[in-house]
Amino acid sequence: MGCLRTNAAAATACLILLIAGSPAVVFAQNMDCSIIFPANPLTAEGLAAPYQLVATDPANGPCNEGNADQSAFVQAAIFDPATHQISVYNPLVIDYGTQPAVPPVIPTLPAHAIVALWFGFNGNNLTQRTLAVNPTTLTDNHCVNGTRGSVFGQFSYCNAVAFFAAVNAAIDRRLLHVPHRGMGNDGRLCPTVRSFSIVDQDQSDNLPVTYLVTPDGLFAQNTAANVSSLIGAKKFGNPSDNGLLDRFVDPSLSCTPWKGADLADPGQTLPALPLNELQARSHVFYQALIPAGDPMVLDSQGNPSLAKLNLYRRGVDQPEVRWLGQASTAAYCHSMMHQQTNALSRRQTQLTTAPSPVASLGSNLFTFMAARLVGSYEILNCESYGVKNRVTVTTDANGVAIGATINLPAAGGGRASTAAQLSSAGVTTEDPSDDQDSDASSNSEPN
């Protein structure tokens, strides 16, 4: 759900999903920052050592974790090869050269744990960096920031490939059970981060992570102990498709995301990007997967990049492709517009009574998601593939979406219409039948 705000349309589509509010102080708007790694980031001590945020180019202004447009976030998942369970830990990010309000909790890791990290960012480009005393940290820990000279943008990861390989092996051997999605109150299976009813122009980015900021601008992990002891501290979070699903859409549909034990907060559980992706790939026949036109997988010249696309997909446990046509943006556009408009229409009552993630963008969850869909349609240039915009959004004088009309096509569009649209756009896909419902069950998931 990243923004990559390079123009007004992208800014409108940007999901400023500040999960529980944000720091009130606003600083200079340098949208490109770097995150400095601690030593040994996959160990217990490394997880508890704060990351530091700094400007990539200081000439463009400072970067501050307390600036809602520059905040960076980190999430770790820990797989125990003995119990075959996954736990979660959210490392802390602070400003360069400062100290946290409360030292992060040092987690107790299981023996031979397989740990992976994912990163999210509220600005445009977050670059992984190390201190001179630890020059090999990124390579030693299998960190991926994009291709040479072209970072993904708001997303990156470390050791994700090994983590998913171990977890999927346990799932295949039935040693780890992935919870079924359950049935939503709209009469359909609960959506996932790979449902076309949920995705936007850059799915599977950013994190369902929140931190605390004190009135004097120091940061701490969002734990029960810190909430109790840090008087006046406020929560702030990372714009993310994961957060949108876990904290807004799921509750509105009486659904519950998969959560793991929080190693920083005993007795508590947390949603996590890897858990969302693992649940999304299980028992789902037709999934939304990162398309070649996703802004985060374009090269430095704005062109599709097979190498960058596959690097990103590896970090979120999605299958790689052999050529760009297998990740058709045209097919993605069609399925996103077709399935999401149907879902918005079907869920209008539930979403209208649910709160908007950002009141300045939508008056409720329904209008917010309708405006988000229009923005994604524009950013992916879906019109160029013959895909019609089926959503009309009404805004007030302040630009807040206060109403939306879903203009569903007449019956009979279906697979033949889809194939004709893709063919006329010169697109070849492995399976152009993208009217299949990504919220429908496969044969292995009970209804």
- By CB atoms closer than 10 A (0-12, 13-18, 19+), residue 35 is buried
Q: Which domain holds residue 261?
A: 8-324
Helices 273-281 and 160-172: angle between axes, nearest 10 degrees: 40
Q: Answer yes or no: pTM beyond 0.85.
A: yes
Q: Does the residue 393 lie in any domain?
A: no
Asked if residue 314 is part of any domain, the answer here is yes
pLDDT for 147 beyond 60: yes
Total domains in the chain come to 1
Does residue 434 lie in a domain region?
A: no
Does residue 346 form part of some domain?
no
Please give the pLDDT value at position 285: 73
Give 442 or 348, the one with higher predicted confidence: 348
pLDDT of residue 440: 62
360, two tokens: 């300045």
Q: Which amino acid is at 357?
A: P
Beta carbons within 8 Å of 337's beta carbon, 6+ residues apart = 373, 377, 382, 387, 388, 389, 390
Count of Cβ atoms closer than 10 Å to residue 57 Cβ:
11
Assigned domain for 368 exists: no
402 occurs within a structural domain: no
pLDDT in tens, 232-247: 999 999 878 899 999 9
Q: What is the mean pLDDT of the chain?
A: 88
Structure token digits, residue 30: 């340098």
Q: How far apart are CA 287 and CA 227, in angstroms?
A: 38
In this structure, is residue 142 part of a structural domain? Answer: yes
Q: What is the pLDDT of residues 366-424, one digit of tens each?
A: 999 999 999 999 999 999 999 999 999 999 999 999 999 999 876 544 443 443 343 33
Domain annotation covers residue 410? no
